[in-house]
Amino acid sequence: MKNQYFSRRKFITATTALAAFSSMSFATNNKPLNAVRTEGSEREGLLPEKMTVGMVVFEGFQLLDTFGPLEMFGSLRDEVQIVIIGEKKGAVKSSAGPAVVVEYDFADAPKLDIVMIPGGGGTRREVNNPVFISAFKLLAQATPHVASICTGAAVLARTGLLDGVKATTNKRAFKWATSQGPNVKWIAQARWVEDGRFFTSSGISAGTDMALALIARLFGQDTAVRIANGAEYGWNNDPHHDPFAKLNGLVD
């Protein structure tokens, strides 16, 4: 799907990145969807005219997998709101130590437009956590755009939703990650892979390039380039440019 936002949003994106860059406004106090469901038809706290991007985290998530993509979406502050989702609310530690605050558990998660899942050492535990897998599967089924970064693809593969879908994952952990989804059409050499509503990226830093590709798909190429330039980021915007497949012996 080329999605419902593109045409409506296209005309207002030209000035968004610059405005967001100089803005000091922060995300407002989001409230859970469940509370709103009993109160009315509108989501309270979350603004219905904004696109909602949800990042699903777990103990031992990888920092750059998570915050590289969110940096890029965060530049669209007038168009996008970001929520952090996990199995439990509260502080969740990354593999490097620093903790992020989970605002929503799976039961309370608002309706999303994009759901993303990072990699990290914690994926080794979560692929064997049926509660996490089934809750994440429900969320991904209900969300128009689904993205994974690094070994987050292993968790996504365990939901079964990637069966028959082209996808990629971390190159150093390729064997382990791909073993979690024997029916996925894994691609060894790719910075990221887009297949229908699924975007999957290679390891760690590749998620940032993929996020810009997803932004290009939803908001236009010019917006993605402007965001990359605003972040002084040398965007690898070629999904086929992946020197790390060869470096890790996955291709000749």
Query: Which of 93, 111, 166, 217: binder of a copy of itself (CB under 8 A)?
Result: 93
Query: Which of 143, 170, 180, 223: binder of a copy of itself (CB under 8 A)?
Result: 170
Question: Under rule CB under 8 A, how many of the chain's residues touch a copy of itself?
Answer: 58
Of 37-45, 91-99, 138-146, 157-165, the window that binds a copy of itself (rule: CB under 8 A) is 91-99
If one asks whether residue 13 binds a copy of itself (CB under 8 A), the answer comes out as no
Residue with Cβ nearer a copy of itself (40 or 97): 97
Of 5-13, 128-136, 157-165, 233-241, the window that binds a copy of itself (rule: CB under 8 A) is 233-241
Q: How many residues does the chain have?
A: 252
Contact predicate 135/165, CB 8 Å:
no
CA quadruple 234, 248, 199, 224: dihedral, nearest 10? 0
Contacts of 159 (CB under 8 A, 6+ apart): 133, 134, 136, 137, 140
Distance between CA atoms of residues 190 and 101, nearest Å: 32
Contacts of 28 (CB under 8 A, 6+ apart): 45, 47
Residues that bind a copy of itself (CB under 8 A): 21-24, 26-27, 55, 59-60, 62-64, 66-68, 70-71, 73-75, 77, 81-84, 91, 93-101, 121-122, 124-125, 170-172, 202-206, 208, 229-234, 236, 243-244, 247
